[in-house]
Structure 1
Amino acid sequence: MIREATPADIPLIHALIQELAAYEKAPHEARATEPQLHDALFGDHPAAYAHIATDDATGTPVGFALWFLNFSTWRGVHGIYLEDLYVRPTARGAGHGKALLTELARICTERGYERLEWAVLNWNTPAIAFYESLGARPQDEWTVYRLTDDALKKLAGRSS
């Protein structure tokens, strides 16, 4: 079962983000706090959205998807950028990841969005195989760039 996240899910979402960061071998990089997540998802101007996957038999939360809108200047419409998709290891293979992606695809088609995009680490071959089994294709002609921390401050003219 897939449901929209509620404010009561913030501790769960925070815990799942921490689990995902550990899985991706970068727990030190996951610095988001519960108040930040609450503001981003449920504040006056929500910047992101989340869905929770639960076990059908027990109702226990087993995963989540956190996403936000992007915009294609070429297509002239919004799309969804999936920031995080995570299913706990004990629940993998039961269809929860596919159900989360199916819900996001449903939202896209229902709202007239033409893209559902995300990034995956090159070493995460189980995820890559799963995404490709759904028909997703890598966009290997693009390279993602990122400015953070000191480099971002330096470019902004604000040294740390």
Structure 2
Amino acid sequence: MTTTLSGGAVLRPARPGDEPGILACIRELAEYEREPDAVETTEADLTAALFGDHPAVFAHVVERDGAVVGISVWFLNYSTWTGRHGLYLEDLYVRADQRGHGYGQALLRNLAAIAVERGYARVDWAVLDWNAPSIAFYRSLGAFPMDDWTGYRLTGDALVATARPVAVRGA
């Protein structure tokens, strides 16, 4: 579904051909988050993830004047407590020169509408502790921090080491 936004922009599901614009936004987000060299994703990776035979990652874009100026990249999660899916918002980004038009809010409201329409229980995401503008934006929409939870991650050597089989005691 396509939604017309201010300034002649449209919000729509990502489609093949959007990969360069999506990747540009991901790189700008990484730079904003002080990790400019952390992005390993390629356009081919995005093509496979978003448009392959069985996509498990989804994206919406804000397009203005033929260019991708904002993105939401998300995937399904599942709560054993609610017995329902939810959405996990991996990236929400609007290019700096396009902010102030309501595009970020439109992207997040679009995800909330998808969750409600499909009967999903919630929309989750993470934000860096120092990112005061984003925190204020999320709070203005009624979102709240999960202060009782700390995120953990396995990556790199620790991931490989953890994946190695171990002998089961008492077996």
TM-score using structure 1 length = 0.94
Aligned to 2:51: 42
- Asked if residue 2 in structure 1 is aligned to residue 11 in structure 2, the reply is yes
Q: Per-residue deviation at 1:62?
A: 1.3
Aligned to 2:70: 63
Aligned to 2:100: 93
Q: Which amino acid aligns with 1:31?
A: E
Aligned to 2:114: 107
> Is the Cα–Cα contact under 8 Å of residues 21 and 69 in structure 2 kept in the other structure?
no
Q: Which amino acid aligns with 1:45?
A: H
Q: What does 1:111-130 align with in structure 2 at a 5 Å threshold? A: 111-130=118-137
> Is the Cα–Cα contact under 8 Å of residues 62 and 69 in structure 2 kept in the other structure?
yes
**Which consecutive unaligned segments of at least 5 residues does structure 1 have?**
none
Q: What does 1:6-45 align with in structure 2 at a 5 Å threshold? A: 6-45=15-54
- Asked if residue 145 in structure 1 is aligned to residue 152 in structure 2, the reply is yes
- Asked if residue 74 in structure 1 is aligned to residue 74 in structure 2, the reply is no
Q: Which amino acid aligns with 2:15?
A: T
- Asked if residue 51 in structure 1 is aligned to residue 60 in structure 2, the reply is yes
Q: How many residues align?
A: 156
CA deviation map 1:79-136 (0-9, x unaligned): 0000000001111121000000010011001000010110000010000000000000
Aligned to 2:169: none
Q: Per-residue deviation at 1:29?
A: 1.2
> Is the radius of gyration larger for structure 1 or structure 2?
2
User: For the residues of structure 2 that align with 1:53 and 1:138, how far apart are their CA atoms?
Assistant: 26
Q: Which amino acid aligns with 1:72?
A: S
RMSD between aligned residues: 1.2
Percent of aligned positions with the same letter in both sequences?
58
**Which consecutive unaligned segments of at least 5 residues does structure 2 have?**
1-9, 166-171
SS at the partner of 2:26?
A: helix
TM-score using structure 2 length = 0.88
Q: Per-residue deviation at 1:67?
A: 0.2
Q: Per-residue deviation at 1:34?
A: 1.1
SS at the partner of 1:28?
A: coil
SS at the partner of 2:142?
A: coil
